[in-house]
């Protein structure tokens, strides 16, 4: 599995998780990870658009 496909899968599942506090254990970790990843990808997109 490539990093790219992993990222796509995580972002595809992101909509299932609105409130991380309701999640348990690993799902909660993944939920916060998705939010962070979304933020990072947004920043990368902005950087890419500048250059």
Secondary structure (DSSP) of 4-15:
HHHHHHHHHHGG
Instruction: Give the percent of the chain with pLDDT over 90.
Output: 0
Nearest C-alpha neighbor of 10 from the set 45, 43, 39: 39
> Is the full-model pTM beyond 0.75?
no
pLDDT at 32: 81
pLDDT at 19: 64
In this prediction, the residues of the chain whose per-residue pLDDT falls under 50 are none
């Amino acid at each position: 599995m490539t990093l790219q496909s992993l990222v796509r899968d995580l972002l595809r599942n992101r909509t299932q998780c609105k409130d991380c506090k309701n999640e348990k254990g690993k799902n909660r970790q993944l939920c916060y990870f998705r939010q962070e990843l979304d933020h990072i990808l947004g920043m990368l997109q902005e950087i890419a658009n500048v250059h």
